[in-house]
């Protein structure tokens, strides 16, 4: 795992120093290449072929800088050797280079893994991102200058770049807690969509998808899914350094833990009681402990204390103002795992989107089959488990006032004041299989723009590579070919996945209610972050987007420790702090 920066159309002797801004992504090595007004910089986290995979990779007048892991690189290598290609390393970097050299842009679809890269073929730059968006990639164009990078902070620091907030992007963050590609929260900084390639030549940009989300006619069996997942876990364990696992005791991370071919060091978060006591969030450590014992993994408890200064550090590394406390949880867990010597960790991200794990999928079925539910009353605020139930019921009721697909978008949202943010997505849905359409929407947007974004940024802050075995090309094909009725019923989700895992997981894990990877945000707002609340009213950027009375309402409600608006308040705290951190 690495960090990349490329610039074309701008000559300067000090471009190397901007690579240092993303050096946390690759603390093991640095590499630079320049020719005329083309510059490539790379910082490396050495995982495979530690001594032989240095970058930029330069050969035959072509240059590659690459971030990620292509897990089928041995298969591709054999194919290329059959075409007469000669290799001088064991690294997947050289394989990626030679695939691009031999096949050009068409070769990208052959990769099975997580990646972003920049490739100079002697006359043009090709950049691309993996089909799930596991690895980030940003670009900007100012006049005749084009630049791309793994992280925004390198781009906005370049002498020719702009540094200003994008109000359109912030409206999406306030609405959904994430922002859709190609825009970002920074004016002039673009995200390359997952599964896309971009070609820059002579000042012209052409961006296009290299994959499609077509469904095959064959419906997979539970046995197909289990065997494919088993192969994916094995593939994701390829490494020349130790691999660990982040274990929550939930279905997805437990499934991965059950399919490893050897015991791993497992890590699970434990929050301070003072934070949890003020929240409707509960710890999952006891479940993780049980799973670890069953499969022989050595579980290490990571008891964390969230500190006020961690808040600004997380926002600096996130770059986009993602208002989800899970980002802080992943940051704290990653920091400690890296401190304890782990360089690669497996996580269960992606199982919910592919196999129907989110409660909003069941909510869609319930709303369509039982229309009388619109008459249920709202439930007043309460703490503990009853508070979670009240929050969920009230959220469910809020979406019933609209028809599909707006109803689904309302369930995903936290603020309903920007109508255009909903209108933007209505054409992404279809009526063929409504539930699968919603899951595909989440695969295309929510997964890369939210879950994968914060997972990558907060782990790479410490040079920790996160791998996601639930996301492989083959598992995606199986998911797309599975009718939604085999994934979700009104009362349970991940039906076919649970059926597939019956042979490897105990029944109480299979039947356990989804908890989600989160954080005691409400407890933090009532405690460590409480002194920041009133600063939001002093932020003219926020007040230029939102009505003052609404901001005052959020502050008052959260100061009193009541209501279910803590995520709305948290997003405002994130945006206000983000603005100061990046001097916007």
Closest CA to 287 of 22, 45, 9, 517: 517
The tally of domains found in the chain comes to 3
Mean pLDDT, to the nearest integer, of 359-387? 80
Indicate if 224 and 193 belong to the same structural domain: no
Indicate if 248 and 375 belong to the same structural domain: yes
CA distance 520 to 232: 32
CA distance 139 to 7: 10
Mean pLDDT, to the nearest integer, of 180-184? 97
Closest CA to 363 of 322, 410, 293: 410
Q: How does pLDDT run across 44-67, given as a tens digit for each residue?
A: 888 877 777 789 999 999 999 999
- Give residues with Cβ within 8 angstroms of 521, minimum separation 6: 279, 281, 325, 566, 567, 570
Q: Which residues pair with 35 in a beta bridge?
A: 38
pLDDT of residue 166: 98
Indicate if 191 and 259 belong to the same structural domain: no
Q: How does pLDDT run across 382-429, given as a tens digit for each residue?
A: 666 666 777 777 788 888 989 999 999 999 999 999 999 999 999 999
Q: What angle do CA 255, 257, 258 make, to 5 degrees?
A: 65
Pairwise pLDDT comparison (335 vs 275), residue with the higher score:
335
- Domain range for residue 577? 529-581
Is residue 405 within 8 A of residue 430, CB to CB? The reply is no
pTM: 0.95
CATH number reported for the structural domain that contains residue 485 in this entry:
3.40.50.620
Q: Is the pLDDT of residue 287 over 90?
A: no
Q: Is the pLDDT of residue 542 over 70?
A: yes
Q: How does pLDDT run across 81-92, given as a tens digit for each residue?
A: 999 999 999 999
**Distances 92 to 53, 70, 74, 230, 456 between C-alpha atoms, Å:** 8, 6, 8, 22, 20
- The β-bridge relationship of strands 344-346 and 243-246 is parallel
Q: Is 268 helix (H, G, I), strand (E, B) or coil?
A: strand
Q: How does pLDDT run across 339-348, given as a tens digit for each residue?
A: 999 999 999 9
Closest CA to 142 of 123, 120, 172, 164: 164
Indicate if 142 and 103 belong to the same structural domain: yes
CATH number reported for the structural domain that contains residue 140 in this entry:
3.60.20.10
pLDDT of residue 374: 78
Is residue 268 within 8 A of residue 246, CB to CB? The reply is yes
Tokens of residue 340, six digits:
């304890």
pLDDT of residue 178: 97
Indicate if 489 and 577 belong to the same structural domain: no
Indicate if 449 and 407 belong to the same structural domain: yes
- Give residues with Cβ within 8 angstroms of 495, minimum separation 6: 356, 486, 487, 488, 489
State what percent of residues in the chain have pLDDT above 90.
77
CA distance 457 to 320: 10
Indicate if 479 and 493 belong to the same structural domain: yes
pLDDT of residue 117: 98
pLDDT of residue 227: 98
Indicate if 416 and 519 belong to the same structural domain: yes
Indicate if 78 and 22 belong to the same structural domain: yes
Indicate if 249 and 331 belong to the same structural domain: yes
Q: What share of the chain is helix, strand, coil (3-state, %, to 5)?
A: 45, 15, 35
Indicate if 493 and 375 belong to the same structural domain: yes
CA distance 421 to 183: 13
- What DSSP character marks residue 484? G
Q: Among 209, 242, 264, which residue terminates a domain? A: 209
Q: Among 209, 226, 254, which residue terminates a domain? A: 209
Q: Among 175, 209, 243, which residue terminates a domain? A: 209
Q: Is the pLDDT of residue 144 over 70?
A: yes
Q: Is the pLDDT of residue 32 over 80?
A: yes
Mean pLDDT (the chain) is 92
Indicate if 548 and 476 belong to the same structural domain: no
Q: How does pLDDT run across 230-245, given as a tens digit for each residue?
A: 999 999 999 999 999 9
Q: How many C-alpha atoms does 358 have within 13 Å on its Cβ side?
A: 22
């Amino acid at each position: 795992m690495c960090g990349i920066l490329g610039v074309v159309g701008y000559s300067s002797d000090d471009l190397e120093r901007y690579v240092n801004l993303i050096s946390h992504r690759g603390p093991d090595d640095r590499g630079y290449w320049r020719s005329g007004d083309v510059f490539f910089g790379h910082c490396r986290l050495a995982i495979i072929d530690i001594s032989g995979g240095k970058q930029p990779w330069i050969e035959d007048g072509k240059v590659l800088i690459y971030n990620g892991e292509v897990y089928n690189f041995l298969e591709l290598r054999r194919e290329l050797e059959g075409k007469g290609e000669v290799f001088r390393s064991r690294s997947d970097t050289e394989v990626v280079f030679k695939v691009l050299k031999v096949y050009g842009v068409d070769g990208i679809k052959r990769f099975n893994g997580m990646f972003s890269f920049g490739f100079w073929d002697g006359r043009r730059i090709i950049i691309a991102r993996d089909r799930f968006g596991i690895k980030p990639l940003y670009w900007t164009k100012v006049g005749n200058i084009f630049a791309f990078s793994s992280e925004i902070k390198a781009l906005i620091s370049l002498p020719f770049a702009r540094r200003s907030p994008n109000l359109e992007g912030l409206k999406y963050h306030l609405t959904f807690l994430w922002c859709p590609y190609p825009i970002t929260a920074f004016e002039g900084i673009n995200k390359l969509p997952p599964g896309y390639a971009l070609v820059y030549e002579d000042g012209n940009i052409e961006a296009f998808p290299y994959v499609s989300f077509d469904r095959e006619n064959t419906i997979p069996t539970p046995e197909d899914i289990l065997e494919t997942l088993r192969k994916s876990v094995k593939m994701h364990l390829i490494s020349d350094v130790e691999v660990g696992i982040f274990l929550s005791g939930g279905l997805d991370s437990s499934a991965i833990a059950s399919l490893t071919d050897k015991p791993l060091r497992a890590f699970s978060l434990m929050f301070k009681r003072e934070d949890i006591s003020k929240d409707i969030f509960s710890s999952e450590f006891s479940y993780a402990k049980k799973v670890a014992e069953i499969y022989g993994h050595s579980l290490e408890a990571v008891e964390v204390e969230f500190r006020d200064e961690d808040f600004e550090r997380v926002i600096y590394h996130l770059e986009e103002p993602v208002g989800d406390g899970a980002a802080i949880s992943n940051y704290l867990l990653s920091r400690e795992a890296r401190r304890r010597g782990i360089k690669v960790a497996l996580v269960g991200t992606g199982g919910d989107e592919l196999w129907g794990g989110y409660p909003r999928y069941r909510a869609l079925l319930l709303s369509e089959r039982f229309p009388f539910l619109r008459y249920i009353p709202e439930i007043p605020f309460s703490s503990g488990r009853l508070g979670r139930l009240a929050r969920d019921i009230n959220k469910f009721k809020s979406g019933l006032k609209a028809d599909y697909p707006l109803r689904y978008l309302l369930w995903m949202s936290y603020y309903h004041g920007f109508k255009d943010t909903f209108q933007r997505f209505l054409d992404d849905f279809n009526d063929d299989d409504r539930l699968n359409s919603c899951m595909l929407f989440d695969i295309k947007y929510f997964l890369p723009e939210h879950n994968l974004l914060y997972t990558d940024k907060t782990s790479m802050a410490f040079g920790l590579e996160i791998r996601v075995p639930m996301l492989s090309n083959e598992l995606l094909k199986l998911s797309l070919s599975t009718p939604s009725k085999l994934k979700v019923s009104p009362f349970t989700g991940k039906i076919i996945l649970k059926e597939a895992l019956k042979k490897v997981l105990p029944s109480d894990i299979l039947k356990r209610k989804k908890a989600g990877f989160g954080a005691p945000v409400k407890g933090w707002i009532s405690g460590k972050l409480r002194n920041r609340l009133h600063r939001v009213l002093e932020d003219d950027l926020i007040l230029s987007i939102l009505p003052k009375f609404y901001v005052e309402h959020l502050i008052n409600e959260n100061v009193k420790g009541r209501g279910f608006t803590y995520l709305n308040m948290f997003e405002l705290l994130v945006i206000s702090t983000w603005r100061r951190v990046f001097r916007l």
